[in-house]
Amino acid sequence: MPFYTDRVLNGSAVAKVIRSEVADGVKELAKKHRAPRLVVLLVGEDPASKIYVGNKTKACAEVGIDGETVELPASTPQEELLERIESLNEDDSVDGILVQLPLPEGHDVAQLQWTVSPDKDVDGLHPINAGKLWQDQDCFVPCTPAGIIEMLERREFEMAGRHAVVVGRSAIVGKPMAALLLRQNCTVTVCHSRTKSLEETCREADILVAAVGQVGLIGPNHVQAGAVVIDVGMNRLTERRQIDHYYPGDEKRRRAFEKKGSVLIGDVDFTRVLPKASAITPVPGGVGPLTIAMLMVNTLESAKRRLQRTKGD
Ligand code: GUN
């Protein structure tokens, strides 16, 4: 459908530009100090997490960040994870620490997030950073919502005064997304599983962000004509009849499904929403690459701030 192609927001292309800017910043920092260093803790065998972490490490290598993944078995006790985080906090050569989510059953996620030093919390999930975000103070911001704002700003999309509806209230996307849109002077509504009139509320949105993790959650009846639709969902279709329903006549996706046994899909019924939206992010190739690019931005920023601080001592 070539007519619509300019409506599709190419997150991969924006992410590439951001990564190249980070690469320049890394070069400059390495000349006077050293390259930034990011350590990712990957606990357990979640296959999706392994792919995400692999992509993060690849992005680090591309921009010149020293990226390291510490792989630990699902049986690793909470105490050991806490000790590892504490030792990374104290290690002066580490600029960023990230605990990949979800963690295997039995771990106290909040306790781990509280333990990461707020100065190295490149995921922006420490409550100090989360609190600062709502008070408009300088802080690390979670990468997915930060990437969405970055993309909208780079497209010079006017956000002030628009009605933004965020569907989903997670600590990693929904809540920080709402805070950032508010910071952009949007009027913000947050919807969730107990929202009574999801369809009507979404239909009032000029900017609609779907971040729930539910296939087909947002259909054409949820979307006002001309709205900007941002799809944060990352789900898998594993049945042929689903592919036929969500991507009728899409031979490329059908072949991908036949080869791999599944295809990625967001929370938005892309095929049916596309004709109504003025702009929409695809899955894959929309929000995902932006998340990783912003992790690179946060890690570089952390290294620069830490250097500034030591100079000031
Ligand atoms: N799992 C999926 N996305 C993310 C992310 O942005 N950060 C962390 N820590 N885990 C995730």
Is residue 80 included in any domain, yes or no?
A: yes
Is residue 47 included in any domain, yes or no?
A: yes
* CA angle, residues 189, 191, 194, in degrees to nearest 5: 140
- Residue among 121, 123, 206, 231 flagged as catalytic: 123
Packing angle of the helix pair 47-63, 287-312 (nearest 10 deg): 60
Instruction: For residue 100, indicate whether it is catalytic.
Output: yes
CB neighbours (10 Å) of residue 102?
12
Question: 223-267, pLDDT tens digit by residue?
Answer: 999 999 999 999 999 999 999 999 999 999 999 999 999 999 999
Q: If you search the block for the tokens 């408009």, which residue do you land on? A: 136
| Same domain (yes/no): 204, 151 | yes
What is the token pair recorded at 242?
């689903």
Cis bond before residue 145 (omega within 30° of 0): no
| Closest C-alpha residue for ligand 1 atom 6 | 143
| Closest C-alpha residue for ligand 1 atom 9 | 100
Is residue 169 included in any domain, yes or no?
A: yes
Is residue 6 included in any domain, yes or no?
A: no
What is the token pair recorded at 140?
């690390």
| Same domain (yes/no): 147, 237 | yes
Is the pLDDT score of 4 beyond 60?
no
What's residue 313's pLDDT? 61
| Same domain (yes/no): 55, 98 | yes
119 lines ligand 1 (CB under 6 A): no
* Helix residue ranges per DSSP H, the chain: 11-32, 47-63, 78-90, 109-115, 127-134, 143-154, 174-183, 198-202, 240-246, 251-260, 270-273, 287-312
98 lines ligand 1 (CB under 6 A): yes
User: Candidates 49, 57, 98: which one to mutate for ligand 1, based on the most atoms within 8 Å of Cβ?
Assistant: 98
291 lines ligand 1 (CB under 6 A): yes
38 lines ligand 1 (CB under 6 A): no
**Ligand 1 centroid – CA 94 distance (Å):** 19
Instruction: For residue 95, indicate whether it is catalytic.
Output: no
Contacts of 157 (CB under 8 A, 6+ apart): 228, 279
**Ligand 1 centroid – CA 226 distance (Å):** 31
- Helix (H) / strand (E) element for 264: namely strand 263-265
Cβ-in-10-Å burial (0-12, 13-18, 19+) of 104 comes to middle
Instruction: For residue 123, indicate whether it is catalytic.
Output: yes
What is the token pair recorded at 222?
């949820």
Residue 297 pLDDT level (bands cut at 50, 70, 90): very high
What's residue 189's pLDDT? 99
pLDDT, mean of residues 123-145: 98
| Same domain (yes/no): 175, 80 | no
What range does the domain containing 109 cover?
Answer: 33-117
Question: What DSSP line would sit under 51-63, residue for residue?
Answer: HHHHHHHHHHHHH
Contacts of 311 (CB under 8 A, 6+ apart): none
- Mapped onto helix, strand or coil, the DSSP state of residue 269 is coil
pLDDT, mean of residues 99-128: 97
Domain count, the chain: 2
Could you tell me the CATH number of the domain that includes residue 105? 3.40.50.10860
Is residue 137 included in any domain, yes or no?
A: no
Atom of ligand 1 nearest to the CA of 291: 6
Residue 213 backbone class (left: φ over 0; alpha: ψ -120 to 50; beta: rest) = left
Q: Do 42 and 70 contact (CB within 8 A), yes or no?
A: yes
Q: Do 210 and 229 contact (CB within 8 A), yes or no?
A: yes
What's residue 242's pLDDT? 97
Q: Residue 179 has what DSSP assignment?
A: H
Question: 263-290, pLDDT tens digit by residue?
Answer: 999 999 999 999 999 999 999 999 999 9
Contacts of 160 (CB under 8 A, 6+ apart): 184, 185, 186
Share of the chain above pLDDT 70, in %: 98
CA distance 214 to 261: 19
pLDDT, mean of residues 80-84: 98
CA dihedral over 115, 116, 119, 124, signed as positive or negative: negative
- Residue among 66, 95, 100, 267 flagged as catalytic: 100
Is residue 296 included in any domain, yes or no?
A: no
122 lines ligand 1 (CB under 6 A): no
Share of the chain above pLDDT 90, in %: 97
143 lines ligand 1 (CB under 6 A): yes
Contacts of 84 (CB under 8 A, 6+ apart): 41, 70, 72
100 lines ligand 1 (CB under 6 A): yes
Strands 263-265 and 235-237: antiparallel
What's residue 311's pLDDT? 80
| Same domain (yes/no): 100, 149 | no
pTM, entire model: 0.96
